[in-house]
Amino acid sequence: MLYSKLTELYTQLSSTTKRLEKIEILSKFFKKLDEKESYILYLLEGNIYPSYDERKIGISNQLAIKSISKATGTNQKKIQELWRKMGDLGEVSKKLTETKTQRTLASHTLTTIKVLENLRKLPELIGKGTIDKKISLITELLTSASPEEALYLVRTLLGDLRIGVQESTIKYSLLKAFFNDDKEKEPSIQRAIDKTNDLAKVFEISKKSDIKKLDSLELEVGKPIKAMLAQKTISIKQAFKDLGKPLAAEYKYDGFRLLIHKKGDKITLFTRRLENVTKQFPEVERYIQNNLKGKSFILDSEAVGYDKKTKKYTDFQAISQRIRRKHNIKKLEESLPVEINIFDILYYNGKSLLDKPFKERTKLLRKIIKKEPFKIAPSKMIITSSEKEIEKFYKEALKNNQEGIMLKNLDAEYKPGRRVGHMLKLKPNKKDFDLVITGAEWGTGKRKGWLSSFTLSCKKGNKFLEIGKSSTGLKEKKEEGLSYEELTDLLKPHIEEQNERAVKISPKIVVAVTYQDIQKSSNYESGLALRFPRFVALREDKPISEITTLEELEEEFIDQKKENYKYN
């Protein structure tokens, strides 16, 4: 397929915000799309591989600027100036391509497969001369691109396609294109996406309108899937109303999610962001080999830190660095030990358990684990119809430094990647949110060279809305915790725009933030402001899709007003 045909589709999709119109556009496109071009489904999400694949394009704004400069013969300083005015390097590339006097002799008509081949070479490059090789691959595409193609090439490179297409949009488009919009067949497509994490594969089967084959797809050990997520509940009484009696109550651990895959002797560990962190946790591999029965399985668990001397559990912040550190593993293993608490099993000895009720899954899970305190254990759980018992269990979880409890319907299936109503979380109002950094200012004085005064944003649909600024809680020295220097290094590749000291940052880095209270504010787009926000931890385990929403903040604001009314 000509790349121009795909960019025409991008333009159509970005021209409307209406979901039904996007579904109509996509369904017509899918009907004409050849099965051999199923890789287009990755490009529609701004990816080059299925979402389970760790390989990402990984191009920084600065590298994109150098490539645009080389392709268009434009000074980098001029590109920076245009970027500040336009706020989108894709639009800058389009504008400069329009004003090019002629194409180079090396230019040729772009195809989607050529674009994909060049983009897939980028993450493979390592070692000396990598930067120049990457620029060469990008420039080869940009010199052959039309203005519209240049726009979407650069946006794809930067992971910022801006066409408003989500996985659910693609799902309903497949339903409309190949199953006559039969809503009864939607669960089959969803389960196929859940099990494979591969939209191209699901497209290929859907193209044949083969529901039986979609239903026959199974989980694959070693391929990460998205973890199931819980909704909030306001009370134990409400949980019983929503889930029925009896229900299961488990500790809600203050750690990070680990999905554990085992096939034969090979063990692989994935975070909820589908990142492979096996090398960072060699002790977990040992625990699994020594304490779990089974030739193959997929387990859902939480890694929790503890103090070796006091044997008390620590919070997420204390062990968060273990996710991102790839050196001095042995030292980290000793200084920041983790206990693995397993709470679900999705697959066992060749069979998927996603459709089995939770009571069966948890019964099997507790049979195959050999408990070893401060190494590995099944999650602490009770099954009861008593509100008093759960209240006592809840207080015990908090006393043990955990976040609260999870409440689960015993007959529920496991639904990957979705926030489900049959699993609820109950925790005290700790006044903390997971937010994304969307701006900052370059520091002065002793903080010169570092970013500071970070703009924090919540999520509303596909938009990110500002809710406060903060630097409080960051450290001057790396060894003391999350530092200005470390955060600056993480954010630099995502700087989109600079105006004197202020910078605009692409929403990529998630942080946990505490605050004193929430106020109404006309200073921020969200209409709210956090009072005295403070950095608690970097949340590299948490994807952007799971940050705090404006709706959650508004709910918290209402609850806060109720509390204030009670005590005033």
Catalytic residue set: 252
The SS3 assignment for 46 reads coil
Among 477, 461, 469, 463, residue whose Cα is nearest residue 523: 469
410 in the Ramachandran plot: left (φ > 0), alpha (ψ -120 to 50) or beta? alpha
**For residues 79-103, b (16+ Cβ closer than 10 Å) or e, as one string?**
bbebbeeeebbbbbbbbbbeeeeee
Q: What is the residue whose two structure tokens read 């401060």?
A: 374
Question: Is-contact 341 406, C-beta < 8 A?
Answer: no
Contacts 24+ apart (CB under 8 A), 471-480: 471/535, 472/532, 472/533, 472/534, 472/535, 473/514, 473/534, 473/535, 473/536, 474/535, 476/446
Q: Which residue type sits at 215?
A: D
Contacts 24+ apart (CB under 8 A), 479-485: 481/317, 482/535, 482/537, 482/538, 484/443, 484/447, 484/450, 484/451, 484/452, 485/450
Q: In this structure, what DSSP letter does residue 234 have?
A: S
Per-residue HEC secondary structure of 411-450 comes to CCCCCCCCEEEEEEEECCCCCEEEEEEEEEEEECHHHECC
* Cα distance between residue 209 and residue 338, in whole Å: 47
Farthest-apart Cα atoms in the chain, separation: 78
* H-state helical runs in 217-281: 236-243
Question: Is-contact 193 186, C-beta < 8 A?
Answer: no
Cα torsion through 413, 243, 405, 342, rounded to 10 = -20
Phi, psi of 293 (to 5 degrees): -90, 140
Q: In this structure, what DSSP letter does residue 15 have?
A: T
Task: Extract the tokens encoding 536.
Answer: 């608690």
Question: Is-contact 85 108, C-beta < 8 A?
Answer: no
Cis geometry, peptide bond prior to residue 533 (ω within 30 degrees of 0): no
Instruction: Number of helices (H) and strands (E) in the chain: give both, helices first.
Output: 22, 20
Phi, psi of 66 (to 5 degrees): -60, -40
